[in-house]
Chain A
Amino acid sequence: MDNLYIPPTKSSMEVHFDKDTGILEMKGASYPENALDFFGPVNEWIRKYISEINKPMILNIYLNYLNTSSTKCLLDIFEVFEQYHYSGGSLKINWYYAEDDEDIMETGQELAEDFDFPIEFIPY
């Protein structure tokens, strides 16, 4: 499998997943025209990484805005992570947020509420 890189636009996030280091990054704002189309390859890459490589993963999130359909897509990804976590996979999420942006921190906390994998909220 290949690394995944999706360049940012004003309404879609930058995605950089590295299969060799297991470090996954999401950056920016997400309100694309069709969130399912955008997140499809992202979700697929993670599933493939789990089935083919199955090594520790660190997801670094530097998001500043998620619309509701993107939030749903991220929730679907978190569900994949949860299964991975329960099956013994090593996973950690770092949710970075701008110090004065409580809104995106709360979005992250609410998303994480129902999951057991480790997630840390880090202001910058």
Chain B
Amino acid sequence: MAELELLEYYKKMCERNIVLDFQGAISQDMLVGMAELIKTKFSRELGKVDTVKKIFSIFIEMAQNIALYSAERVLLDSSDSDVGAGIIVVTEKNRNFTITSGNLVSKDKVHYVIELCQRVNLMSNQELKQFYKHRIKTFRGEGKKGAGVGLIDIARKSGLPIDYTITPVNDRNFFLVLSVKIQEVQNDG
């Protein structure tokens, strides 16, 4: 039974062109391992620095968003502070890449994320640049670990709208899904 389920899972992953799929606590070691894997794999397959760097940097910002902001916290042995848990999936089809992340966000914070997505999705490249520059200088977030510009940076690098959905999972949290598309950079290298 278990073997059969795994085979189904394997087939589904292949059908959906999943190149990386991780669910759990995003420790720094895990993040570095996945980022390195993405860089190595796509450098070999694409050979184009610009596209690989876009995928690499969007992946890191999305994974670090989970690590920093997920409402699901896990205490790891190797660290004295907790890390966020969630799911992150990278797919590739005909050289179109999608990175999708999912994690719990508390009720009182979820609208902030959604409003930020809506705001950046309406902005031109020039507006995004100004917004990024203003915010990186002025943002003082909780715990101060992040710069508060991850989503803006992702939107700038992707050049396409960020897809988002929220689903209530209990009376405290929503499950937030963010999906970012990356198209291969043409005529570079």
Contact = CB atoms under 8 A, between A and B. Distances in A.
Nearest to A99: B49
Interface in B57-108: 57, 60-61, 64, 67
B35 A31 contact: yes
A75 interface: yes
B147 A69 contact: yes
Contacts, number: 62
B21 interface: no
A36 B149 CA distance: 15
Contact of A68 (B32, B129, B147): B147
A62 to B, nearest CB: 16
Contacts of B133: 110, 113-114
Interface residues of B, number: 29
Contact of A69 (B56, B145, B188): B145
Name B's interface SS.
helix
A116 interface: no
Interface residues of A, number: 23
Interface of A: 10-11, 31-36, 65, 67-69, 71-72, 75, 98, 100-103, 110, 113-114
20 contacts: A10-B36, A31-B60, A31-B64, A33-B67, A34-B145, A35-B147, A36-B144, A36-B145, A65-B53, A67-B57, A67-B60, A68-B61, A68-B136, A71-B149, A72-B136, A72-B147, A100-B49, A100-B189, A102-B188, A110-B129
Interface of B: 28, 31-32, 35-36, 49-50, 53-54, 56-57, 60-61, 64, 67, 129, 133, 136-137, 139, 144-147, 149-150, 153, 188-189
